[in-house]
Structure 1
Amino acid sequence: MKNNHSKSSSPAQQRTRGEKVYNIFNIVFFLVVTFICVYPFYYLLINSISNNNLSAAGAIRWLPAGIHLGNYKEVFGLEGLPQAALVSLARTVIGTVLTVIASAYLGFMFTQQQMWHRSFWYRFIIVTMYFTAGIIPMFITMKNYGLTNNFWVYILPVIVQPFNIILVKTFIESIPKSLQEAAEMDGAGTFTVFGKIILPMCTPILATVAIFTAVGQWNSFQDTLIYMTDSKLYSLQYLLYTYINQANSLAASVKASGGSAVNAAAMATQQTPTSIRMTVSVIVVLPILFIYPFFQRFFVKGMMLGAVKG
């Protein structure tokens, strides 16, 4: 009877006291880490929808107060914002697609023994990770190519990324060679092997490359600062960056355009530098926060499989 009882006991009951203490510590530790990661985004959100006077005074810390959406209405009404959002969306989508394709194909080709001077070209690309000419030579190069004040300056210089190529190459090397050899015995050429054999098996690592590239494209503003003087080609990040830097004057202009406030309700929704900073930050962060969870399972699997050969 005693043996039967011990066999039927659950795994939780079989754990030692030390294991239980360790599990509790793990849970508490990761709850604290999760809170530290999530709270800044929560803080931005509640301050962007709360009474602007309370937000400016630093009184909003845990729960929103005087909830309103006037901040978003005002910020979305700022001049040039729709066009800048379209530019950022276009560069993110086009840039991500082209970078993923280039990374996949080059990563595949660098695993092929028959590639012409394969080792030389691989080292040639890798060495660019360690050496850079700097901003001024890069600007002169882009200007000579006619890419200043040109949408394609957001796309072309970043299509070939050595780090992404290394990830894809390492992942492909973990795929059994027998699959490619079997396809070649059936008469498949290089493009057929790449498109029908290798590419479908690279979904995890390509999703990893896609999320890296999309986040980088969406968050980038320095290239706009360096290469663009045409306001029609400003990215959303750059436009919002300028609005954050000009928050004091922008808040004053919004307040002036709204007329004189005569009651407390109007005062509570009038723009302040703090409300503009909070609202702009939420607008910048939210798209990536919504997209990332859909790629997370591919992201983790791709990083793990691409990190170890074999």
Structure 2
Amino acid sequence: MTKPTGLWNISFNIANYLLLSLITFACVYPFYYIFIYSISDPLEASRGLVFLPRGINFDNYKAMLKLPDIYSSFVISVLRAVIGTIVTVFSSSLFAYIVTKNELVWRKFFYRFVIISLYLNAGLIPWYLTMKNLGLKNNFLLYVLPGAIVGFYVILIKTFIEQLPAALEESAMIDGAGYFTIYRKIIFPLSLPIIATIAVFAAVGQWNSWQDNFFLVSDPKLQTIQLILYNYLNQVQSLANMSVQELNRGAAARILTPQSVQMTITMVVTIPILFVYPFMQKYFVKGIMLGAVKG
């Protein structure tokens, strides 16, 4: 069997780079298009854009900032993402550590009971009635408590913890450390790669979630920015008209189109969560790979 020649290797690498570049472009370009559309003059953008914005201006974003309740809803969304992520990370990691201990009575039952939740879904009506009966309607805890323990996160963390050397816990116990002390000072710090991974998952999930807000929150002070902007997306024409009226009160006014409003809303919702990834990226790949080695 002949070995591949140098020319063949070069051709393969070129084809490989071209293919990967096309895939990267196909993934990045839609987001880039939305961005240049949102900062372009609405009338110019409606005539077509390819790679460069036309008539750069930020009137679309100015109009978004003048929407009613936009600031309060943004604060609620940030609080939901931050507090919800912290509660999920702490509860899921602590539960995952507890079910690795043979001393826990009915350890396998509790673990499997949580895992079953990944396969069974009672439906919207039972979920609504349960949340309402628990007093979570028009309650900020609605954003925090239901996602405190997630089966998928428990699997990842439990698998990661089981790969840690048992001698670390044994030496700590000899020195008199209890289970919670071991978890806080040994297990949690050593599990930072997988913790960062589920923190990204949880933060993105909390930020993008709006369905619970839609069904169970009628208080405007508790509504998230996702629901506010979702409602405006369903009324893009009226929003465009309202934005024009708001801008007309200023020195310069531009016509806002429904398409420009849609693109701007998409950017407003997407940009904040993008800042999470750069800080977690170095842990993300390592954590997801190590947490998935064993079943």
Q: How far apart, CA to CA, are the structure 1 residues paired with 2:193 and 2:219?
A: 38
> Which residue does the alignment assign to 2:63?
74
> Which residue does the alignment assign to 1:152?
141
Superposed displacement of residue 149, structure 1? 0.8
For the pair 1:192 / 2:177, whether they are aligned, the reply is no
Aligned runs of 1:83-98 on 2, under 5 Å?
Answer: 83-98=72-87
Aligned runs of 1:191-210 on 2, under 5 Å?
Answer: 191-210=180-199
> Which residue does the alignment assign to 2:45?
55
Q: How far apart, CA to CA, are the structure 1 residues paired with 2:256 and 2:75?
A: 25
The answer to whether the 8 Å contact 2:63/2:247 transfers is no
The answer to whether the 8 Å contact 2:45/2:53 transfers is no
Q: How far apart, CA to CA, are the structure 1 residues paired with 2:249 and 2:94?
A: 61
For the pair 1:135 / 2:120, whether they are aligned, the reply is no
SS at match of 2:54: coil
Q: Could you give the per-residue CA deviations for residues 202-251 of structure 1, whole angstroms, max 9, x where no partner exists?
A: 00000001000000000111111111111111111111111111101111
Unaligned runs of 5+ in 2: none
The answer to whether the 8 Å contact 2:63/2:246 transfers is no
Letter in 2 for 1:28: L
> Which residue does the alignment assign to 2:207?
218
Q: How far apart, CA to CA, are the structure 2 residues paired with 1:192 and 1:183?
A: 9
Letter in 1 for 2:53: P
> Which residue does the alignment assign to 1:21?
11
> Which residue does the alignment assign to 1:176?
165
Letter in 2 for 1:36: A
Aligned runs of 1:211-290 on 2, under 5 Å?
Answer: 211-259=200-248, 266=253, 269-290=254-275
Q: Could you give the per-residue CA deviations for residues 167-190 of structure 1, whole angstroms, max 9, x where no partner exists?
A: 000001111112112222222211
The answer to whether the 8 Å contact 1:173/1:309 transfers is no
TM-score (structure 1 length as normaliser): 0.89
Q: Which residue of 34, 43, 59 corresponds with 1:44?
A: 34
Unaligned runs of 5+ in 1: 1-13
Aligned residues: 291
Greater shift after overlay, 163-172 or 286-295? 286-295
Q: How far apart, CA to CA, are the structure 2 residues paired with 1:251 and 1:130?
A: 43
Tell me which stretches of 4 or more aligned residues in structure 1 moved more than 4 Å.
Answer: 257-261
Q: How far apart, CA to CA, are the structure 1 residues paired with 2:237 and 2:146?
A: 35
The answer to whether the 8 Å contact 1:48/1:279 transfers is yes
> Which residue does the alignment assign to 1:65?
54
Larger Rg: 1
Letter in 1 for 2:26: I
Aligned Cα root-mean-square deviation (Å): 1.9
Letter in 2 for 1:139: Y
